[in-house]
Structure 1
Amino acid sequence: MTDEPPARRVALALLVAFYGVAGVAHLVVTDAMVRIVPGWVPWPRAVVIATGLCELAGALALLLPGWRVAAGWALALYALCVWPANVQHAIIDLSHGTGLPLAYHAPRLLLQPAIIAWALYASGAWAARRRRPSRRA
């Protein structure tokens, strides 16, 4: 990581912290997380716990140079896959007039692509993709 640009090192450290805190939150406040899981997801409690473990594993993998790029792709895909839960959370809060306001949910939903990009940038996954030779003839 020492040969990485300073901005990428900072982005990586923040991403590790972000997913580390999120993973712990999934394991500590599991019941609150279960309430925002969309109804079509089976076994919501198990899914919340599994996603927390995935976040912790991703944060750990980001610290290991040999796993960093794979972790970046995995966390980017993960952020895409949990987007429906964020939408569901907004629907619950905004339709019942309880919970968090639009001022919280709108930025959260709009920033999801940035979180995906953050994982790809901080892990070096984008840079690694650009370095790979094209398979096209």
Structure 2
Amino acid sequence: MASSVSPVQNLARVLLGAALAFAGTGHLTFARQDFQAQVPDSLPLNQDFVVLASGVVEIGMGAALIALPRQRVTVGWILAAFFVAVFPGNISQYLTHADAFGLDTDRKRLIRLFFQPVLVAWALWSTGAWVARNNRD
């Protein structure tokens, strides 16, 4: 059984869910081209398809974080894995010097790389996933 989480963790979970739903909507609409700048050229898929598919996943994950609190631990682990899976896109944006989202210098793109582990930690902490894993005994 999942461990309980604090009201602050619940608020953080809902905020992360809302942020994901917003970002996912951006994938499908207003930020579509910016997100394409993050798709590595080495990925053997159409960049627009990758952006649209990841947008749908982000909207779904955001909705799950908000609407499925009983499954929050599972959602937390899946979301953490998703954040790890998309990290190569952030690295690609840095290595290819692609401007997007106001990241118009290598320094800004490099600094952004350090925020991906924060998202992983946020997903695991706000859902109680890490504590639940440690208490599985």
Give TM-score, length-normalised by structure 2: 0.82
Q: Which residue of 2 aligns with 1:35?
A: 37
3-state SS in 2 of match to 1:32 = helix
Could you say which structure has the larger radius of gyration? Answer: 1
Kept after mapping to 1: 8 A contact 2:97/2:105 = yes
Kept after mapping to 1: 8 A contact 2:73/2:128 = yes
Shift in alpha-carbon separation, 1:103–1:7, aligned structure 2, 3 A: farther
Q: Which residue of 2 aligns with 1:59?
A: 62
3-state SS in 2 of match to 1:93 = coil
Q: What count of residue pairs does the alignment treat as equivalent?
A: 129
Structure 1 stretches of 5 or more lacking a match? none
Aligned mates of 1:102, 1:17 — CA distance in 2:
29
Q: Which residue of 2 aligns with 1:124?
A: 128
Structure 2 stretches of 5 or more lacking a match? none
3-state SS in 1 of match to 2:34 = helix
Kept after mapping to 2: 8 A contact 1:36/1:92 = no
- Alignment RMSD (CA, Å): 2.1
**Are residue 107 (structure 1) and residue 111 (structure 2) matched?**
yes
Aligned mates of 2:107, 2:21 — CA distance in 1:
25
| Identity over aligned pairs, percent | 33
1:1-137 matched pairs, under 5 angstroms: 4-28=5-29, 29-41=31-43, 42-63=45-66, 64-93=68-97, 100-133=104-137
Shift in alpha-carbon separation, 1:6–1:39, aligned structure 2, 3 A: same
3-state SS in 1 of match to 2:70 = coil
3-state SS in 1 of match to 2:69 = coil
3-state SS in 1 of match to 2:97 = helix
Aligned mates of 1:86, 1:69 — CA distance in 2:
26
Bigger mean CA offset, 26-35 vs 51-60? 26-35
